[in-house]
C-alpha cells in the first residue's frame, strides 16, 4: 500500500548534513544525533495526515422506532414533528389529541393559531395557549428543535394551576365583600349614635344598638366559619384515626344546633352502636351545620327529620330532611361553593354566612364519605351523608 505521506527529501538531507557538520566541528556525538532526531520528528509531524473530520450535528439520523419506545410511556404528552408533520405521538398525546394526529400536518393536528405559529417558526420556544383541547383549558406548548426538519413538542397542562389561582382570587374577593357589609353597617350606626349626642328617643337608640349587635354577631359567625373552613381544608388529606360513636354524637349535636327554642321542631331517629373512623369535632360541626340549615330554611310549622342508620354496605348514613320551599334544580350543583346562596337576602337575614355547606363538603371528603343533596320545589330538601364504618378491631371510641 502506497503511503499517504510525502516526505520532503531536501529538508531531510539538510538535517543529516547539519548533524555531520556538528560532529566534524567537534560537537559531541550525542548532541549531533539529538538534533537530527528532533529535526526528523518535526518533519514527520508536519507531513502527517489530518484527523478525520467530525460529522456535523445536523447529520443526525432519526431512529423513529427507538425514540417512539423512549417516549411512549411518559406521563407528559410528547410529539415528534418531522418536516411539518407529526411523525410520533406517545400514549398521553394520543389520548389528549386523538390517534388521528399521526401523519397529519401540524396545522391540522393542533388547529390553534398560537400553537401553529410557534411550530411554523421552526425555532425552539414555548407559548401559553387557551382552548387547545377544551374551551377553558390552558396549556404550555414547548417546542425543541433538533435539526432543520425535526423537533420535539411537549404539552404541559396548566389548567389546574389556573383554576386554583382563580378560586383563590374569587375567595378573597367574596370574603372581603362579606366582611365589608356588616362592618359598614356597624360603622354607620355607631357614627349616627355618636353624632346624635343622646338626643334621639330611647327606642330609636335601642333599635340602632340591636342592629349593631346583630351585625357584630354576623361578623363573628363569618370569621368563625372562615377559620373552620381553613382548618378543614388544611387537614383534608389526613385520614382521621379515632373511632367515634356516631349515634351519641348525632343526638348531642342535633340538640345543640336546635337550642331550647327549636327543640320542638326536631324529629330525631338515631341507631346506637354505630362507630365510624373520624374526627369527633368536625363531625359535630357537620351535624350542627346541616340541622341549623334545615331549621333556618324549612317551613317553621313543619318538623325537621334527622335520622342515622347503618347501611348494609358498611356505611353509616345521616339524613336531614326539611319541608321548606325547596331548591331549584339549577342551584343544586353549586350549593357547596363558598358564599353561594340561592336567596342572598333571606340567607343574610337569617344569619347565614354562605359557608356552611362548603365546610360540610370538606369534612365529608376528609372522612372519605359521600354527600348527596336532593330537593323538589314546594316539598323541601334532603341531604344525606354516608361515611364508612370504623374497622371492627378499632378499640378506641371517642
CATH number at residue 203: 1.10.287.130
* C-beta atoms surrounding 142 within 10 Å: 17
The answer, yes or no, to whether residue 53 has pLDDT greater than 60, is: no
What is the domain count for the chain? 4
Question: pLDDT at position 136, please?
Answer: 81
pLDDT band at residue 63 under the 50/70/90 scheme = confident
Report the alpha-carbon angle 343-345-350, nearest 5: 95
Q: Which of 140, 121, 116 is nearest to 130 (CA)?
A: 140
Residue 203 lies in a domain: yes
Question: pLDDT at position 42, please?
Answer: 66
Residue 53 lies in a domain: no
Q: What angle separates helix 9-24 from helix 29-46, to the nearest 10 degrees?
A: 170
Q: What is the pLDDT of residues 106-145, one digit of tens each?
A: 888 888 888 888 888 888 999 888 888 888 889 999 999 9
Starting at the edge strand that comes first in sequence, how are the strands of the sheet with 150-157 ordered? 85-89, 78-82, 150-157, 138-145, 125-130
Mean pLDDT of the residues in the chain: 83
Q: What is the pLDDT of residues 20-29, one digit of tens each?
A: 666 666 666 6
Residue range 292-302: mean pLDDT, rounded: 90
Among residues 214, 235, 256, the one where a domain terminates is 235
Same domain flag for 316 and 273: yes
Same domain flag for 250 and 349: yes
Residue 40 lies in a domain: yes
How far apart CA 122 and CA 118 sit, in angstroms, is: 7
Starting at the edge strand that comes first in sequence, how are the strands of the sheet with 266-270 ordered? 266-270, 304-311, 315-322, 380-388, 370-376
Same domain flag for 275 and 377: yes
How far apart CA 304 and CA 295 sit, in angstroms, is: 7
Boundaries of domain holding 255:
242-388
User: SS3 for 302?
Assistant: coil
The answer, yes or no, to whether residue 398 has pLDDT greater than 60, is: no
Same domain flag for 247 and 375: yes
Specify which of 5-14, 19-28, 321-330 reaches the highest per-range mean pLDDT: 321-330
Question: pLDDT at position 51, please?
Answer: 60
pLDDT band at residue 57 under the 50/70/90 scheme = very low
Amino acid at each position: 500500500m502506497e503511503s499517504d505521506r510525502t516526505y520532503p527529501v531536501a529538508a531531510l538531507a539538510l538535517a543529516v548534513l547539519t548533524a555531520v557538520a556538528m560532529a566534524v566541528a567537534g560537537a559531541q556525538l550525542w548532541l549531533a544525533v539529538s538534533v537530527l532526531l528532533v529535526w526528523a520528528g518535526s518533519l514527520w509531524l508536519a507531513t502527517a495526515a489530518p484527523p478525520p473530520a467530525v460529522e456535523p450535528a445536523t447529520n443526525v439520523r432519526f431512529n423513529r422506532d427507538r425514540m417512539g419506545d423512549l417516549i411512549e410511556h411518559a406521563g407528559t404528552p410528547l410529539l415528534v414533528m418531522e418536516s411539518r408533520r407529526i411523525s410520533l405521538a406517545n400514549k398521553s398525546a394520543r389520548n389528549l389529541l386523538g390517534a388521528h394526529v399521526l401523519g397529519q400536518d401540524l396545522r391540522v393536528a393542533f388547529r390553534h393559531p398560537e400553537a401553529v405559529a410557534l411550530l411554523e417558526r421552526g425555532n425552539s420556544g414555548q407559548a401559553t395557549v387557551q382552548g387547545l383541547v377544551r374551551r377553558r383549558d390552558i396549556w404550555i406548548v414547548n417546542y425543541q428543535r433538533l435539526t432543520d426538519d425535526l423537533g420535539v413538542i411537549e404539552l404541559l397542562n396548566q389548567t389546574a394551576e389556573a383554576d386554583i389561582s382563580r378560586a383563590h382570587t374569587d375567595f378573597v374577593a367574596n370574603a372581603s365583600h362579606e366582611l365589608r357589609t356588616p362592618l359598614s353597617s356597624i360603622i354607620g350606626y355607631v357614627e349616627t349614635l355618636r353624632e346624635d349626642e343622646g338626643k334621639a328617643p330611647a327606642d330609636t337608640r335601642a333599635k340602632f344598638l340591636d342592629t349593631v349587635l346583630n351585625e357584630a354577631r354576623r361578623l363573628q359567625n363569618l370569621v368563625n366559619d372562615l377559620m373552620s373552613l381553613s382548618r378543614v381544608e388544611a387537614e383534608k388529606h389526613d385520614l382521621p384515626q379515632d373511632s367515634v360513636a356516631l349515634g351519641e354524637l348525632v343526638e348531642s349535636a342535633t340538640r345543640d344546633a336546635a337550642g331550647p327554642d327549636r327543640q320542638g321542631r326536631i324529629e330525631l331517629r338515631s341507631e346506637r352502636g354505630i362507630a365510624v373512623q373520624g374526627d369527633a369535632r368536625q363531625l359535630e360541626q357537620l351535624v350542627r351545620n346541616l340541622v341549623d340549615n334545615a331549621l333556618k330554611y324549612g317551613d317553621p310549622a313543619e318538623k325537621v327529620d334527622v335520622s342515622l342508620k347503618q347501611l348494609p354496605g358498611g356505611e353509616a348514613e345521616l339524613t336531614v330532611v326539611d319541608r321548606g320551599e325547596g331548591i331549584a334544580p339549577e342551584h343544586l350543583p353549586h350549593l357547596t361553593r363558598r358564599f353561594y346562596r340561592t336567596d342572598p337576602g333571606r340567607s343574610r337575614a337569617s344569619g347565614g354566612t354562605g359557608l356552611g355547606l362548603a365546610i360540610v363538603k370538606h369534612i365529608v371528603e376528609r372522612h372519605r364519605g359521600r354527600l348527596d343533596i336532593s330537593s323538589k320545589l314546594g316539598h323541601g330538601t334532603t341531604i344525606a351523608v354516608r361515611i364508612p364504618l370504623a374497622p371492627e378491631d378499632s378499640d378506641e371510641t371517642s
